[in-house]
Amino acid sequence: MERPTDTLAAQAAALAQRVAELAWAGEAASLAEVADGLTDAALIECLERIGSLSNLVDAIGSRLAGVFAGRSARDGEEPLAKRLGSRCAPLAVAAVAHVSTGTATGWCRIGGQLGLRRSLTGELLPEPHPVTAAALETGSIGADAASLILDTLGAVADKAAPERVTAWEEFLVGEALTESSTGLRQACRALIAHADPDGIQPREEELRAKAGVRILTRRDGITRYLIDADPESDGWLRTALDARTAPRREVRFTDQDQPEPDPALEDTRTLAQKRLDALVGIARDSLSHDPGEISGTAVTMLVTITHDALVTGIGAATIDGIDQPISAATARRLACEAKIIPVVLGGDSQPLDLGQSRRLFSQAQRYAMTIRDRGCIWPGCHEPPGRCEAAHLTAWHQSPGRPHGPTDLSNGVLLCRFHHRRLDNDGWTIRFIDRIPHLIPPPWIDPTGTPRPAGRHTLAA
């Protein structure tokens, strides 16, 4: 078999010649210009060559790093890594090869698992994983796939006869050649479960023991939730989040007379932001349906705000138990929610009013809004009524003599949490025109203030 060093040298020379040919043909002066001028076929060809070269580099790097790690063993007389001023082999390899510590660690592990073995008399023993080594040294697979295969084989090595383990190795290498990294990872997990069905429950308990949620407060006011979920918990969380964030499968008909979507109304949130809003929505739903009580008091969120900030919308407020303050505008929006009590303070920070837990709209009114609006009225939003908030067109704090705002249906619409926040913070207003809600943009979006039709309209409407 051709040595991987020879293969690497030949492929590197072929790639260099090909790049030179492309550069000469296009008279490009830099690599960026060469890449930009490639045809689709040439681009794919070069990427395939680069992938093979990268895998061959992993093969040679793993072999060299494995030997380096062996010579850096602590039981040796003069560990090589220590002589270079490093406390371990991966750090020394990373420094010498100018690669990341992760890459160096992977090389050392693979090299150790595929390294030569000798008997007590010094004779070479058979290759421990010849199929994986051959795939790696021909550039067919890279270090990531090799490491995953070797770790899996190590987990099942004592569960079957050697010939059976060899068959499993051939299967995994075949998966690595045909599947993505995700597919290979799934195959490895399935193989472990197949080889040791009795070990699934102990492994499951081990994962549960590692799972949990950590809450970290950063200096900039952001709170970071680090979630380590075991498979069962991940299933619940992923399904709940996907239910609220996955794109809807809708049939859309193209109408040449239909106007283009309004950029001002588009949802520009990232997937991470949508997942956060979904998680908060799940928490709100849980609290609103929680019949339990703590020390005789129903589960609530206390929002404290001064009277001036409440009236003007300028200033700060606090949520009980949260160090980072929130804006007065956010507090006024929260004050409309069920299970949230706004604590209004006077000039001496004395409580003036503890608002009612259920504010303004009754359940019957919510039902009426559900029938009328059928969900979030913002154009393009598909959140159902159960995930929407009852938003006020004239805020409850803006009604003289009526501190809780008007309670009639003409003063309320259904909006999801995200679009309710846009309405309050971005300067939009809502007005009913011919019984249809319209969004009025702020001047910096549309100086003319042209109303945008909103809501979900049936043919009957």
Around Cβ 148, how many Cβ atoms within 10 Å?
Answer: 19
pLDDT computed for residue 301 by the predictor: 64
Pairing of strands 293-294, 297-298: antiparallel
Terminal alpha carbon distance of the chain: 76
pLDDT computed for residue 275 by the predictor: 86
Of residues 148, 58, 47, the one with CA closest to residue 99: 58
Q: How many residues does the chain have?
A: 461
pLDDT computed for residue 49 by the predictor: 83
Of residues 68, 98, 97, the one with CA closest to residue 83: 68
pLDDT computed for residue 277 by the predictor: 86
d(Cα 277, Cα 245) in Å, to the nearest integer? 9
Residue 104 C-beta-side C-alpha neighbours within 13 Å: 17
Quick check: pTM over 0.75? Answer: no
Decide if 141 contacts 55 (C-beta within 8 A): yes
Decide if 19 contacts 34 (C-beta within 8 A): yes
pLDDT computed for residue 243 by the predictor: 76
pLDDT computed for residue 280 by the predictor: 85
List, run by run, the mean pLDDT of 10-residue segments along the chain (461 residues).
68 71 61 79 85 88 92 80 89 93 93 86 86 90 93 89 91 91 87 77 77 87 87 78 65 54 76 86 74 45 74 76 71 62 57 48 75 85 82 64 55 86 84 88 88 68 38
Side chain identity at 184, as an amino acid letter?
L
Around Cβ 102, how many Cβ atoms within 10 Å?
Answer: 10
pLDDT computed for residue 299 by the predictor: 46
- Can you list the alpha helix ranges (DSSP code H) found in 143-230? 143-156, 162-178, 181-195, 200-210
pLDDT computed for residue 348 by the predictor: 52
Domain residue spans of the chain = 4-201, 202-235, 279-359, 361-461
